[in-house]
Amino acid sequence: MHTARLETFADGVFAIAATLLIIDVSVRAPGGELGDALLHAWPQYGAYAVSFLTIGIMWVNHHACMQLIERADRRFLFINIALLACIAFVPFPTRLIAEHLRDDGLRAAALTYGLTLTITSVCFLTFWSYAAVGHRLIAPGADERMVRGISRAFRPGTPIYAGATLVALISPIASVILFALIAGFYVLESSWFARA
Q: How far is the CB of 156 from its own copies (least distance, A)?
A: 18
Render 53-91 in DSSP notation, one character per residue. HHHHHHHHHHHHHHHHB----HHHHHHHHHHHHHHHHTH
Answer yes or no whether residue 192 interacts with its own copies by CB under 8 A: yes
Sequence-distant (6+) residues with CB within 8 A of 112 are 92, 93, 96
CB 111 within 8 A of CB 165: yes
Residue choice 29, 133, 166, 169 for contact with its own copies (CB under 8 A): 29
Q: How far is the CB of 11 from its own copies (least distance, A)?
A: 4
Q: How far is the CB of 133 from its own copies (least distance, A)?
A: 16
CB 47 within 8 A of CB 97: yes
Mark residues 33-52: x for contact with its own copies by CB under 8 A, - for none: xxx--x---------xx--x
Residue closer to its own copies (CB basis): 38 or 159: 38
Q: How far is the CB of 190 from its own copies (least distance, A)?
A: 6
